[in-house]
Structure formats: structure tokens, C-alpha cells
Structure 1
Amino acid sequence: MFPTNQSFGNSVVLAAAARLPQPLFPPTIPGYVQPWLGQESSTSDHPRGVPAFVWGPAARERRHRAGYRNHTPIGAPWLYLLALEANSAIPVPPVRKALLPPEPKPNRLLYFPHHGLQGELAARRTAIALGSQAPETTIALTHEQAASEATRRAYEDVGARVVDLGPARQEVGSVAPFFLQRILQLIRVHRSVRTDVVGTYALFAHSAGAIVEAHVPRERLDALVERELGPSCVMPAQELRAIFDWSTHV
């Protein structure tokens, strides 16, 4: 299995969507699954003949222009997670209480800041710009950002609450919430979501029905969800099992 197939809990979600009996221990996927928005091709060794399972039409078109073939849009794992949530079927690892995201006070804003290459300098500017909203804001940082004491302190000094989204890569059998599950948990307990760029977090929140503060019209978010996340490409369980050669695991 490509190592990135385990990133963000993607393989766990897909195994659950395929209705495998042990989704927390997903079988090998015979190909490369797009792990994140804009990562439809592997950044490491990815032979062009290897099957790729991308999210939506936009990823397929970008791969085609880059000279890649043998790609199948299957919809983003996030969309399968939302379907699992609707059916109370999300596979839940034996989570340690200390690893659960903190329960925020009501009416808080969930903010996914974009620091670019400026790191703590951008964090300080963003924190100051929050102004009086800071004490009512939850700042969601990647595991790498949260590991920077200066970055965390920039937000904590203005009264914001900082949460660590946890590592993107998760070993099979981990007792931590997988990355996508953690994002969904946070979205569900906040009044709205703010992003600095119209990227993965904005599209995830919008497709989950959350109020998104992203400075773009709702219609634009609708179009991006369709093209990038690929809801029209989502497959039923039987087709997922067939395309991944998982039929023998049922």
C-alpha cells in the first residue's frame, strides 16, 4: 500500500464505506488514493502505470494534463465519512479521553489559519487581527504547527483556544481519533468555520453543512465541492469493494 493511503484516516473511512467487517484494519489498496486536495499525484515514486483513485473531476483533469493516465474518480473520503456519520456508522477507535478534542463553549468560531511560509510571524499577525473575537475562537493547528511553541503562544496570548489536529499519518490500530474524524468532531461543535484560503477545510466544512466564512459566494463553494470533492463520483459499497479488489474481505 502507498504510505499516503493511511494518511488522514482515508483508508479507514473507505473500508468502513465498503462495509468491511474490520475497517480500523483496512486491507491494502491496489493503487494510490489521493490523500488531500491538490495531491492527486504522489510526490514520491509513483510509476505512471499504477492505478490512481482521485477525488473529483478537477483532479482527474489535472492528472491528465500532467501526462498521467489510469485514474478513477471515487469521491473524497470526507464525503464517505459524512455518509457514515448520517448512518451512525463511523468506525471509532478505542480513543483515550486525553486525545479527544476539547468541548468548546457554545457559539465559538472554529478557525483554520493559513500561515504560508511565514510560520510564527503570520500567526502573530493573525492573532492580533482577531481582536475582541479571540476569546471566542478555537484555532485549529496542524500537528507540525502546534509543535511550535511560538506559534501556539501567539494565539494563546490573545485568549484564543488552540487545538492540535493530530498527526496526518496514523498507524493501523492507533487509539487516537483519525484526522478526518477529528476535523468533523470540531466542525460539529462550533457555530461557524473560518478559513483564510478556499481550500480543503473550507470545502469540508461547506459540504458538511457548516456556516463558512471564506469571503466567497456560497455558489462558488458549491461548484468547488462538486469539482474538487466529487460528490457525483461517490460509489456504493459494492462498487468500492470491486474497484479495490476487496470483495474477499467481506
Structure 2
Amino acid sequence: MHHANHYYGHSHVLARYCGLDDTDPPRLHGYLQHGWNIGDGLAPDHEYTPGVPSFLWSERTRRRAWSLGRRQGYVVGAPFAYLLAMEPAAADDEREGTIWYPFHGWEGQHVVGDHDGLMASMREVEDGPVTVCLYWQEFRDGKLRRRYEDAGFRVVCHGYRGGWWQDLDPGFLYRQLAELRRHKRVASNRLCSAIFYGALAGCAPAVYGDPMHLENEKQAFGGQPRIRREWAALHGPYVDPDLAGAAAVAELGADRLLAPAELRRLLGWPMPDRVADAELTGVLIR
């Protein structure tokens, strides 16, 4: 099982949906897309074995993968969309302010940009309380975290992504969903998974401010220029929520979620011991 299949607790969410033990997900027979991207759905820095299937979030991604020569791609939908199906929002859900996701680095590359300028943009646009969600790498940088805190922002971190089967965090998406549902808006300086997650969870999205960049960043598949051209309507301090919601459904494959039995078969997972398929399928019907 490729270690990236565990990122952000994705395999754990899918195991729960399939009626299996979500504390110890079975081996997933293929590569699971772990973040929104404009290529074939897979991380360009990972090595993949030819002939092994890819489990992708959307039909758009599957078509791109096909055009790039990856023929064994299957649309399953994003794990976050399955989590939403299993965790319906409360009827008396109260929301306030904005959750802001600054573009982040990762273990192999740090982000470079003007955080002070970004905070100034946030204060200029947002008229309510702002929660800044930092990636674990930036969150552990006490100096950077305090800059946001000293500017008056609430600062949180959803958790550790996990890697190489270590420091796994099955609760990552649960914490992210909870934070999104307590805010009216979701914003970032780049179009990213969090923006689509927020739009799907009922937040009004926004993309503005210094987009920053990674050290030695490569513009894979057209990079930021292509994203701004192709998804121009999703950029700006105020975005049409209906348009963003439709885009989120398409990019996350929220209209392509599989029934538990079908998902288990595709992933090569066993039948559950305790939960009937009829009960799980009802999650999508209610």
C-alpha cells in the first residue's frame, strides 16, 4: 500500500464508509489521489509502478490522466465528500467569520512569501473574525505562528499529514470539517483542496492575496498561470457561491460517490464483519 494513501486520514475515512475498521484500514490496491491538482491526480514527486490502478476524485482528472497515458484510472470521489455524506450538518449550524488557509510548503520545500502583506490583505477584505489554519510545518514554526497570533488572528492546525506509515492522523478531515462548518467563508491565496472542501461544506469561498511560491517551484501542467486562466471565476475576494459549489462538486467528484459494496470491490477490500450494505447505502439516501 503506497504510504500516500494514508495522507490526511483518507484511507481511514473510506474504511469507515465501507463498514470496515477505520483504525486499521486494509491495504488499498492502487494509488489514491490525496489532493486537488491540475494533472493526473497523482503527486509528481512520487514513483509509481506501471499498471497499478489510480483512484481519482473526478471525471475531469480521469480524463487528464488518460491523455497523459495513465489508462487504469477510476473515479471514486474525494474522501472528504464521503465524510460529508457520513456527517450531515446540524440543522442549527451557526457560522461566523472566515477560515483562511495560507499557501503552505511541505517536507521537501518551504514556502516563500510576504506573510505581513498577506495579513494586511486579510484585514482589508474580511469584516468578521478570522481563523488562520497553518499546515503543520508552518504551525511548528513558533515565530511564524506568533506573527499571526500577534496580528489578532485565531490560529489552528488540523493536524499532521502523515508519511511513510508514521504519524498518521485519522482525525485530520474530521477537524477540518468541524472548522469549516463554524465559519461563513473559506479563503486562501491559492485555489486548493481546502477551497473546494469549504465550498462543498457550505462556505462562501475566496482566493486573493500574494500567492507565494515554493522554493525552486516548478510550474507542472501549466502551474498557477493555468489555474488562474481556467478557474478565473473562482478567484477574487468575493466569489459566486453557486458557481463555486458546482465547481466543488465536479472537482471532488461529489456526484460520483460509490456505494460501499462497489467501493470495496474496486479498492480490493473485504466485506465488513458487522455493518450491512443496506445501512451504509442509506447514508447517501437520507
Matched, 1:244 2:233: no
Partner of 1:94: none
The one of 122, 144, 157 aligned to 2:150: 157
CA drift at 1:230 = 0.9
Q: Distance in 2 between matches of 1:32 and 1:176?
A: 19
Question: Scaled by the length of structure 2, what TM-score is found?
Answer: 0.72
Write the deviation string for residues 78-101 of structure 1: whole angstroms up to 9, x where unpaired.
Answer: 11000110299xxxxxxxxxxxxx
Aligned residue pair count = 233
Partner of 1:41: 42
- Paired residue secondary structure (2:23): coil
Aligned counterparts, 1:1-250, within 5 A: 1-20=1-20, 22-38=21-37, 40-42=41-43, 43-86=45-88, 107-114=96-103, 119=111, 121-131=113-123, 136-169=129-162, 178-214=171-207, 215=236, 216-250=239-273
- Paired residue secondary structure (2:131): strand
Question: Scaled by the length of structure 1, what TM-score is found?
Answer: 0.82
Query: Does the CA contact (< 8 Å) of 1:34 and 1:54 recur in 2?
Result: yes
CA drift at 1:248 = 4.1
Specify whether residues 145 and 108 from structure 1 end up closer, same or farther in structure 2 by C-alpha distance, changes over 3 A only: same
- Paired residue secondary structure (2:114): helix
Q: Distance in 2 between matches of 1:36 and 1:175?
A: 16
- Paired residue secondary structure (1:80): helix
* Gap regions ≥5 residues in structure 1: 89-104
* Gap regions ≥5 residues in structure 2: 208-235, 274-286
Partner of 2:222: none
CA drift at 1:170 = 6.8
Specify whether residues 46 and 242 from structure 1 end up closer, same or farther in structure 2 by C-alpha distance, changes over 3 A only: same
**Which deviates more, 194-203 or 51-60?**
194-203
Q: Distance in 2 between matches of 1:238 and 1:87?
A: 25
Cα RMSD, aligned residues only: 2.9
